[in-house]
Structure 1
């Protein structure tokens, strides 16, 4: 029973973390492939930083930089620049640069956030970025002392799993795996990363159709994140923008990608 409880705690914490990022930050805020209900959107904007330790505005800006400069020297996290083993440190440094750039209102960063109608989280505006880690650490320590160290570790590792999630996607998704589409970058469809990180590993599909809420093209490409979007839509908490969905593969011939640029996202936000 104890091991089952540990697994359940890890799974719940992991799901909260990855769904906030893949549905809220990525498909919702960054690409507007999913329109969140105002209540859910407010929770993601104001609570997401506390849950994941990542600022939603900074995350979106860094992700848009990645799309615009994918696998070039300006990419904030490409294995072509730093190697697979260098991704973890590179994405941290890039995230810190984005935070500083937004705080200084640097146009090199703010131009990617014109449609985001909210500021950086107060934690980053007041240099208290560490508080979410402290809170989750205290909760994990309390569970460890009160119940058992494995339960506490399960909570903390599940809730703070984003560096591993991001590292796997940003490295394997641009280094190892097949390609359905001839994109200008080195994006790949890595099934290991996709299964573990709710479809995020299908980077080639996503880079070909960045405005699609679904990251799968072939039927065997399982995108659990899109399944979560469908469930949220049925609950009335989100609406999927089906105009930009990846067309389901009818043959092995690759379809032509229809990229959605930052300027288009900004235009849609103003409409």
Structure 2
């Protein structure tokens, strides 16, 4: 039971900080916050994303390019230009790495403010840090996997690649399967009811229509579980939403 609890906790905590910090804050600036809170959330993103920490600057640039060129040949990760999800993941990782190393100039549409913290960026993206977190996950499993439940070790690779897997699910499913509320001149979809497992990220059609809206849901039954958390943070003055939708 403790292994499954650990897996679920890592899945949702990693995903929460990816959607809250790298996506909604770094990429879209849906809200503002003080430098102190930015550093706190920056550090928490590193801790909970762990082995698959995503550099906020590289993430923001690539994501803005995705919105600007959604489902065209210039989209860095449209599923409609790859034979399978693994090829899309490979191309996405290469593009992300290029932005991380600053070996690729960002498109003009992707420029602008994004949070940076050089020491965390260097540590979080280092091989040593990723191996350290991987070793911690492995130790935890060795310590707590019950005898006779060795199948649980099959979950370990998910911990190692949590961030890229979340991205692959959202970018593949969110542009192939589901329904559309809006004609966005792309192939973005809403994948309800599976969206809850991705904390609002699979409302891609809604998000591409209103990219700066903090609420990814549009219709009454489309529930973005991160939005109420953001509203609470807003009322507590931890963050300041651009607008309460």
* Alignment correspondent of 2:225: 224
1:118 corresponds, among 116, 119, 131, to: 116
- Provide the TM-score with structure 1 as the length reference: 0.76
Partner residue in 1 for 2:36:
39
Contact 2:33–2:239 (CA<8 Å) still a contact in 1? yes
RMSD between superposed Cα atoms in Å: 2.8
Q: Is the 8 A contact 2:137 2:159 kept in 1?
A: no
Question: Following superposition of structure 1 onto structure 2, how do residues 181-192 of structure 1 map, counting pairs within 5 Å?
Answer: 181-192=182-193
Q: Which runs of 5+ in 1 are unaligned?
A: 246-271
Report matched runs for 1:65-80 at 5 Å: 65-80=65-80
Higher mean C-alpha deviation, range 68-77 or range 190-199: 190-199
Query: 2-side partners of 1:217 and 1:209: how far apart?
Result: 10
Residues 61-140 of structure 1 correspond to what in structure 2 (within 5 A)?
Answer: 61-85=61-85, 86-100=87-101, 102=102, 104=103, 107-108=105-106, 112-116=110-114, 118=116, 121-122=118-119, 129-140=126-137
Match of 1:17 in 2: 14
Give the distance between the partners of 2:170 and 2:225, measured in 1 at CA: 15
Whether the 8 Å contact between 1:183 and 1:207 is mirrored in structure 2 is: yes
Query: What are the superposed Cα offsets for residues 117-141 of structure 1, whole Å, 9 maximum, x if unpaired?
Result: 536x446658962233212212122
Q: Tell me which moved more, 50-59 or 39-48.
A: 39-48
The answer on whether the counterparts of 2:22 and 2:59 sit within 8 Å (CA) in structure 1 is yes
Q: Does 2:143 correspond to 1:146?
A: yes
Give the gaps of 5 or more residues in structure 2: none
Is contact 2:199-2:225 (8 Å) kept? Answer: yes
CA distance in 2, matches of 1:64, 1:221: 24
Q: Deviations over 1:75-123 (max 9, x none)?
A: 00001111442322222122112223x2x4x54358734322536x446
